[in-house]
Amino acid sequence: MALKALHQGHVPEEPSPAGTTLTTLTVADTVVATCWDGAGLPGVLAPRPFLHPVTTLAGTPVTDAQPEDHRWHLGVSVTLQDVGGANIWGGRTYLRDQGYTWRPDHGRQVHTGWAARTPDGFRETLDWLGPDGRTLLTEERTVRATAAPLPGSWTLELSTTLHNATDAPLELGSPATNGRSGAGYGGLFWRLPPVTDARVWSPDAEGEGAVHGSRASWVAFTATGTAPFTVALAGTDPTTREDPWFVRVDDYPGLGSQLAAEHPVRLAPGAATTRGFRALVADGAPGTAAIEGALGTATGQGGRR
C-alpha cells in the first residue's frame, strides 16, 4: 500500500526514526509495551511520546505506528487536533467551510521528567508546545500495566491531566467542533494494526456505525485470524465516561475517545481537565462477561451506562 495521493509531498514516504526509548512496561517478566519520546519525528506528524509496540502476553502486536494511511497515527498516545489553534494530532487540520487542509500549524509534546518509574509503570510530565514553541499545556500522565484476572491478558491504565499553561482562556477542540460532525476525535487514541477481519462491539451495540459515538461503559475490538487478539477500553471516572467513543474499522482500525465531541473544552488560565482509561489487552476473543470482569465494569462494579 502506498501513501495516499493527498498525503504525498507532505509526510515522509517511509516511517521516520521515532527518537529515544524512554522506558518499557513489563507484566509477569514480559515486556508488553515500549514508550518512545517521539523526538525524532518530523513536525508534520506532531511529535509526541507514544507506546509502540504494545503486545499481548503471547507477543502479538496490538498497535501500529506511522502506517501508510496516516503517518501521524502513533501507537497509543494522548493527542488533540486543536489546542488553541495548534494541531498536536498531526496531518491535515480541519477548517470550518474548507475541510481538511495542510497548514504549518503543528505543535509537539515534549517529555520533561519523571515523577515515578517502575518496571510496570510510570508517572511523567510533559509540555505541549505550539508551532512557535510556546507552552500551551502542561500534562501529568500516569501509565501502569498489570496482570488481569482473565487468563492470558493484562490491563493498561492511563490517566492524563492537562493544565492550561497560558495566561488566557484556552480551547481544546476537534474537527467536530470546527464543523465536521461525528469527528470529535482527540484525547486517548489507540491505532490498531492491520487485520483481515475484525469485530467491534460494546455491551449495547455491534458494528462500527452503532458503537462509534456511543457512551457505552466499554468498547472492544477483536481481530480474528491466525493470531486473534482483543483490545477493550473503558473510562475510569464519571467525566471520562461521558465522552463518546471514537471507532474506526472500515477506513483503518482504531479506537479512542472524543474529548471534544460537540463543543470545545474551555480551560481558564491555570485550570485543568483530567481523563482516565483502562484497557484490556488479551489473546483470543473473550466474551462480554469476561471483558466486563477484567475491566471492572460488571454489574456491581460500575455497571453499564
Cα–Cα dist 20/92, whole Å? 26
Calculate the alpha carbon distances from 120 to 37, 106, 248, 304 in Å: 18, 32, 29, 29
pLDDT in tens, 203-245: 999 999 999 999 999 999 999 988 999 999 999 999 999 999 9
Give the pLDDT of residue 1.
57
Here the cell at position 250 is 472500515
C-alpha cell at position 105: 500549524
pLDDT tens sequence across 281-290 = 999 999 999 9
How many angstroms separate the CA atoms of 211 and 176, rounded? 17
Rounded Cα distance, 67 and 2, in Å: 10
Q: What is the pLDDT of residue 299?
A: 44
CB atoms within 10 A of CB 302: 18
pLDDT digits (tens, 9 = 90+) for 60-119: 999 999 999 999 999 999 999 999 999 999 999 999 999 999 999 999 999 999 999 999
Strands (E), the chain: 21-27, 30-36, 50-54, 76-83, 86-88, 93-95, 99-101, 108-118, 121-129, 135-147, 153-164, 170-173, 187-191, 198-201, 218-223, 229-235, 245-248, 254-257, 265-267, 272-283
What's the whole-number average pLDDT of the chain? Answer: 95
Calpha distance 10→13 (Å, rounded): 9
pTM: 0.96
Distance CA 270, CA 285 (A): 44
pLDDT, mean of residues 1-10: 85
DSSP letters for 223-263: E-SSS-EEEEEEESSHHHHTSPEEEESSSS-EEEEBTTSSS
* Per-residue pLDDT at 25 exceeds 80: yes
Distance separating alpha carbons of residues 76 and 41, to the nearest angstrom:
16
| Contact present, 247 and 208 (Cβ < 8 Å) | yes
Q: Among 1-5, 146-150, 180-184, 214-218, whose mean pLDDT is lowest?
A: 1-5
Calculate mean pLDDT across residues 279-305.
80
For 157-172, the pLDDT digits (tens) are: 999 999 999 999 999 9
Q: Hey, what's the cell of 18?
A: 521515532
pLDDT grade for 55, boundaries at 50, 70 and 90: very high
Closest residue by Cα to residue 251 from 70, 98, 86: 70
